[in-house]
Amino acid sequence: MFSFSASHVLNGLPEGHQCGRFHGHNYVIIVELRSDLLDGTSFVLDYGKLDPIKNWIADTLEHRHLNEIVPGQPSAENIAKWIFHTWKGQYPKLHAIEIKETDKTTARYEYDNR
């Protein structure tokens, strides 16, 4: 689980919609790995090997305006999809990315390439 704080504006919403105004969130990202087999230490993957994702989040997303970073609409759903596809090539066991904007709002992107 990783976190970052950032701002965004969602475009194309009805007039007066709260998400259409400039605002920010303290995001939580859950990286879900999946495997039928565990390694010799009974891990799917040692969490320390996820440090490149943690560092990328800090360098790319932390205290940024997501409209300037995320391709397309910076909705939680699109952010999850973007992060997933950014890292899937490096982490073949990556199964899903979940983004929490608040305790009540969560988006999850998982891709089944079977």
Q: Distance (Å, rounded) from C-alpha 56 to C-alpha 97?
A: 15
Among the options 19, 23, 62, 77, which is catalytic?
19
Residue 17 catalytic? no
Tell me whether residue 95 is one of the annotated catalytic residues: no
- Pairing mode, strands 2-8 and 23-33: antiparallel
Among the listed residues 17, 23, 62, 63, the single catalytic one is 63
**What is the DSSP code string of 19-64?**
GGS-EEEEEEEEEEE--SS--TTS-SS-GGGGHHHHHHHHHHTTTE
Q: Which residues carry out catalysis?
A: 19, 63, 101
